[in-house]
Structure 1
């Protein structure tokens, strides 16, 4: 998910806590833990500063998003609360653990994927049933915020209800995505799903031999072909990988890629992010500048 959504998740966790008997320091500790732990896995973005091998694509959402690291992050915020606010409350550890778990698990549902099982597996798990920016999440949380301002005594109740609706939204979206995925399962060699910004709409990226077809599909209308892409499966990628290290990382990171080998370029791109004639995850070298 995007940074705003993760922040809203943290604020919603904080909103669901009954704080009527808390002092200022305790409230500060809970706010820090709920919001901070909801953001901490994305600290991996700083790896760009020392990435000289083109590995950032693999590092981002890698080990910091591992389910096995969640209690470590929770312990960090428990200790920060003790150090900064002098608050020692085991519920802070549980809150931090829940916040990190929600961050890591929610990231599984969009097309980018997550190293959820690192360091035991470097497979990027991705369901593709929720868009990276999901306005439905924002609307649900925003509605809870409005109601909580009207009746502060019932604020925790409204945010708990918001969490119930958030979970329901994920279940409905993912169930529909799974049913659509199964419709293509026997017809193509490889399939990937990418949820659209409009709820209940999905891009289905299907590869058979050297052709990749991108469909727009939902359960309530006929599927539409958006793009048909040709992959040059015979392309020799050794020169690309030697000159453009990011290309090898992308090749290993993506479920499958489209290979480009024409008079101008040698490269590859992830078709899940193909929009308006190009993918923003495209690594290539110009043939007229090859050495």
Structure 2
């Protein structure tokens, strides 16, 4: 998910906590942990500063997003709260753990995916059933905030807990639909990937069969429609490309499948899940 959504998740966690009987320092520790732990896996962006081998595509959302690292992040925030706020509350550990698990797990559902099982598996797990920026989350959390402003402090957490219920329901419904479309196309194509649209219930279904990549638009309330048909040059010399462009090799490992370009001008690959208006923003190539 995007940074704003992860921040909103953290604020919603903080809002769902009953805080009428805790002091100011403890409240600050809860807020710091809720928001900070909701963001900490994305600290891997700084790895761009020392990436000299074109590996950032695998590093981002890699080990920092591993489910096995989540208790380590939680322990970090527990220790930071003891140091900065002088608060020693075991609930801070579990709050931080929950925040990181929500971050890492929510990232599984969009097309970018995560290294959820690193270091035991380098596979990027992605379901593609939620867009990277999902405005439904924003509306749900925003509504909970405005409704909670009109009630007593004792009742405020219930609005945010209701918001979490609706968020889980939204993700579940989208995922059930995504599973349906995956199975629907799986019978006719060798490879399939999903990319959820910004409008709920709409999906791009990206398929590959014998070097032909077809991108469909499909959904409950719309007819199946072919958006793009792309030809992949499967016989191109990718070893030569990888020797000249390490980023291309990383992209090849990272993507579920790629489209290969090989003409008189360039040799390259791109991820068709991010193909819009004649190009993909995940594209690596060399020129002849």
TM-score tier by shorter-chain length is: over 0.9
**Equivalent pair of 1:273/1:280 in contact (CA under 8 Å):** yes
Deviation by residue 1:59-88 (Cα, 9 ceiling, x = unmatched)? 000000000000000000000010000101
Task: Specify the SS of the correspondent of 1:132.
Answer: coil
Deviation by residue 1:173-218 (Cα, 9 ceiling, x = unmatched)? 1101111111001100000000000111000000001100000001
TM-score, normalising length from structure 2? 0.99
| 1:238 Cα deviation after fit | 2.2
Could you say which residue in structure 2 is the equivalent of 1:62? 62
Determine if the alignment matches structure 1 residue 116 to structure 2 residue 116. yes
Could you say which residue in structure 1 is the equivalent of 2:90? 90
**Equivalent pair of 1:215/1:225 in contact (CA under 8 Å):** yes
CA distance in 2, matches of 1:179, 1:12: 31
CA distance in 2, matches of 1:237, 1:112: 23
| 1:244 Cα deviation after fit | 1.1
Task: Specify the SS of the correspondent of 2:79.
Answer: helix
CA distance in 2, matches of 1:101, 1:129: 18
Could you say which residue in structure 1 is the equivalent of 2:102? 102
Could you say which residue in structure 2 is the equivalent of 1:168? 169
Task: Specify the SS of the correspondent of 1:207.
Answer: strand
Determine if the alignment matches structure 1 residue 12 to structure 2 residue 12. yes
CA distance in 2, matches of 1:195, 1:64: 24
| 1:286 Cα deviation after fit | 1.2
**Equivalent pair of 2:272/2:280 in contact (CA under 8 Å):** yes
CA distance in 2, matches of 1:170, 1:30: 26
Could you say which residue in structure 1 is the equivalent of 2:281? 280
Could you say which residue in structure 2 is the equivalent of 1:52? 52
Structure 2, unpaired ranges of 5+: none
| 1:236 Cα deviation after fit | 0.5
**Equivalent pair of 2:201/2:221 in contact (CA under 8 Å):** no
Stretches (4+) displaced over 4 A:
none
**Equivalent pair of 1:180/1:219 in contact (CA under 8 Å):** no
- The within-5 A match list for 1:177-196 is 177-196=178-197
Task: Specify the SS of the correspondent of 1:150.
Answer: coil
Determine if the alignment matches structure 1 residue 138 to structure 2 residue 138. yes
CA distance in 2, matches of 1:221, 1:47: 42
CA distance in 1, matches of 2:100, 2:210: 40
Count of aligned positions = 287
Could you say which residue in structure 2 is the equivalent of 1:72? 72
Deviation by residue 1:133-162 (Cα, 9 ceiling, x = unmatched)? 000000000000001111142110000000
Deviation by residue 1:33-72 (Cα, 9 ceiling, x = unmatched)? 0000000000000000000000000000000000000000
Q: CA RMSD in A?
A: 0.7
CA distance in 1, matches of 2:256, 2:9: 28
**Equivalent pair of 1:109/1:126 in contact (CA under 8 Å):** yes
Determine if the alignment matches structure 1 residue 235 to structure 2 residue 236. yes
Task: Specify the SS of the correspondent of 2:149.
Answer: helix
Deviation by residue 1:246-284 (Cα, 9 ceiling, x = unmatched)? 000000110000000011110000000000000000000
Structure 1, unpaired ranges of 5+: none
Task: Specify the SS of the correspondent of 2:94.
Answer: helix
